[in-house]
């Protein structure tokens, strides 16, 4: 997911998207452990997307405090 797409979302959308990605990551980790995951690069992509969302949410919180 592109950073600009994430920055265009509001806080509620970002929190919802973060939850969806975490759930998807959990399912992929489970598949990976069972040896059923075909594309293991998807794990890294999801982790990075979650980190991007967390960073943007943190920036929004810091901006709101100032």
Q: Kindly state the average pLDDT of the residues 10-31.
A: 97
31 by DSSP, 3-state: which? helix
Q: Which residue range forms the structural domain that includes residue 22? A: 3-65
Q: Which two tokens stand for residue 58?
A: 């943190």
Q: Which two tokens stand for residue 51?
A: 């980190």
Residue 66 has pLDDT above 90, yes or no: no
> What torsion, rounded to 10 degrees, do the Cα atoms 48, 50, 51, 52 define?
90
Alpha-carbon distance of 1 to 10, in angstroms, equals 15
Instruction: With beta carbons less than 8 A apart as the criterion, state whether 52 and 1 touch.
Output: yes
Residue 53 has pLDDT above 90, yes or no: yes
What does the pLDDT look like over 23-51, one tens digit per residue?
A: 999 999 999 999 999 999 999 999 999 99
47: domain CATH number?
Answer: 1.10.287.310
Q: How many domains does the chain have?
A: 1
Residue 1 has pLDDT above 90, yes or no: no
């Amino acid at each position: 997911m592109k950073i600009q797409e994430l920055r265009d979302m509001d806080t509620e959308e970002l929190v919802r998207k973060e939850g969806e990605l975490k759930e998807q990551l959990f399912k992929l980790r489970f598949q990976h452990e069972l040896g059923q995951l075909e594309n293991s690069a998807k794990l890294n992509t999801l982790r990075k997307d979650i980190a991007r969302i967390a960073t943007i949410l943190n920036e929004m919180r810091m901006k709101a405090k100032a």
